[in-house]
Amino acid sequence: MKKAKKDKSVIIAAAVFILAALTVFIVHKAGAGSFVGTAWALFPPLVAIILALVTKEAYSSLFVGIVLASFMAAGCNFTETVNIVVVDGLTTAVADNAGIFIFLVILGTVVALINKTGASRAFGEWSEKHIKSRKAAQFASFVLGILIFIDDYFNCLTVGSVMSPVTDSKRVSRVKLAYIIDATAAPICMIAPVSSWAAAVSQYVDSENYSGVGLFIRAIPFNFYSLYTLVFVVTIIALGFDYGKMAGFEIKAKETGDLSMLDAATEDEKEEKNERIIEEEGPAKPRIGKMIDLIIPVIALIVFCIWALLKIGYESIEGTGTVIDALSETDATVGLPWGGLMAVIFIMIYLCVRRVISFKDAMECLPKGFVAMVPAITILTLASSLKGITNMLDAKTFVESVMASIQNLAWILPAVVFVIASLISFATGTSWGTFGILIPIVSAVFPEGSPLFFVGISSCLAGAVCGDHCSPISDTTIMSSAGAHCNHINHVETQLPYALSVAAVSFVTYLIAGALSNIGLTWVSIPVGAVGVVVFLIVMKRIVSKKQTRE
Say if residue 210's pLDDT is above 90.
Answer: no
Q: Which residue has the higher pLDDT, 444 or 60?
A: 60
Say if residue 15's pLDDT is above 60.
Answer: yes
Say if residue 248's pLDDT is above 70.
Answer: yes
Say if residue 34's pLDDT is above 80.
Answer: no
Q: Residue 433 and residue 430: Cα distance in Å, rounded?
A: 5
pLDDT classification of 268: cutoffs 50, 70, 90: very low
Q: Is residue 347 part of a domain?
A: yes
Q: Which of 170, 176, 183 is nearest to 143 (CA)?
A: 183
Q: Is residue 246 part of a domain?
A: no
Tell me how far CA of residue 159 lies from CA of 22, 42, 104, 209, 317, in angstroms: 44, 33, 14, 38, 31
Looking at the structure, tell me whether residues 506 and 445 fall in a common domain.
yes
- Mean pLDDT, residues 387-392 taken together: 82
Q: Which residue has the higher pLDDT, 218 or 173?
A: 173
What pLDDT score does 124 carry?
64
Cβ-based neighbour number of residue 53 at 10 Å: 14
What pLDDT score does 276 carry?
39
**Domain final residue pick, 96, 120, 147:** 96
What pLDDT score does 466 carry?
93
Note the pLDDT tens digit of each residue in 369-385: 888 778 768 877 887 78
What pLDDT score does 280 carry?
43
pLDDT classification of 264: cutoffs 50, 70, 90: very low
Looking at the structure, tell me whether residues 176 and 311 fall in a common domain.
yes
Say if residue 56's pLDDT is above 90.
Answer: no
pLDDT classification of 266: cutoffs 50, 70, 90: very low
What pLDDT score does 271 carry?
42
Q: Which residue has the higher pLDDT, 209 or 42?
A: 42
Range of lowest pLDDT (256-270, 396-410, 434-448, 521-535): 256-270
91-96 contacts, C-beta under 8 A, 24 or more apart: 92/385, 92/388, 93/380, 93/381, 93/382, 93/384, 93/385, 93/388, 94/381, 96/333, 96/384, 96/388
Say if residue 55's pLDDT is above 80.
Answer: no
What pLDDT score does 348 carry?
93
Contact 74, 27 (CB under 8 A): no
Q: Is residue 232 part of a domain?
A: no
Contact 123, 291 (CB under 8 A): yes
What pLDDT score does 287 carry?
58
- Mean pLDDT, residues 229-253 taken together: 93
Range of lowest pLDDT (72-76, 120-124, 299-303, 496-500): 120-124
- Mean pLDDT, residues 529-548 taken together: 90
- Mean pLDDT, residues 416-445 taken together: 78
Which residues have CB under 8 Å from 41's CB, separation 6+? Answer: 35, 390, 393, 394, 395, 398
Q: Is residue 256 part of a domain?
A: no
**Domain final residue pick, 346, 379, 412:** 379
- If one counts the domains in the chain, the total is 3
For 446, the domain range is 392-550
Q: Is residue 224 part of a domain?
A: no
Alpha-carbon dihedral 270, 272, 276, 282, rounded to 10 degrees: 70
Q: To the nearest whole number, what is the mean pLDDT of the chain?
A: 80
pLDDT classification of 237: cutoffs 50, 70, 90: very high
Looking at the structure, tell me whether residues 191 and 83 fall in a common domain.
no
Note the pLDDT tens digit of each residue in 288-323: 778 788 888 878 887 888 888 788 888 877 777 777
pLDDT classification of 27: cutoffs 50, 70, 90: confident
Looking at the structure, tell me whether residues 353 and 312 fall in a common domain.
yes
**Domain final residue pick, 72, 96, 120:** 96
Say if residue 325's pLDDT is above 80.
Answer: no
Say what the pTM is: 0.71
Q: Is residue 276 part of a domain?
A: yes
Say if residue 510's pLDDT is above 60.
Answer: yes
pLDDT classification of 45: cutoffs 50, 70, 90: confident
Helix (H, G, I), strand (E, B) or coil at 486: strand
| Number of residues assigned to the chain | 551
Q: Which of 86, 31, 159, 45 is nearest to 434 (CA)?
A: 45
Q: Is residue 264 part of a domain?
A: no
Looking at the structure, tell me whether residues 320 and 184 fall in a common domain.
yes
Note the pLDDT tens digit of each residue in 397-424: 777 677 666 666 667 888 988 998 898 8
Q: Is residue 311 part of a domain?
A: yes
What pLDDT score does 429 carry?
77
Looking at the structure, tell me whether residues 277 and 353 fall in a common domain.
yes
Looking at the structure, tell me whether residues 92 and 112 fall in a common domain.
no
Say if residue 327's pLDDT is above 80.
Answer: no
Looking at the structure, tell me whether residues 397 and 368 fall in a common domain.
no
Looking at the structure, tell me whether residues 363 and 512 fall in a common domain.
no
pLDDT classification of 270: cutoffs 50, 70, 90: very low
Looking at the structure, tell me whether residues 411 and 502 fall in a common domain.
yes
What pLDDT score does 14 carry?
78
What pLDDT score does 16 carry?
78
Say if residue 484's pLDDT is above 60.
Answer: yes
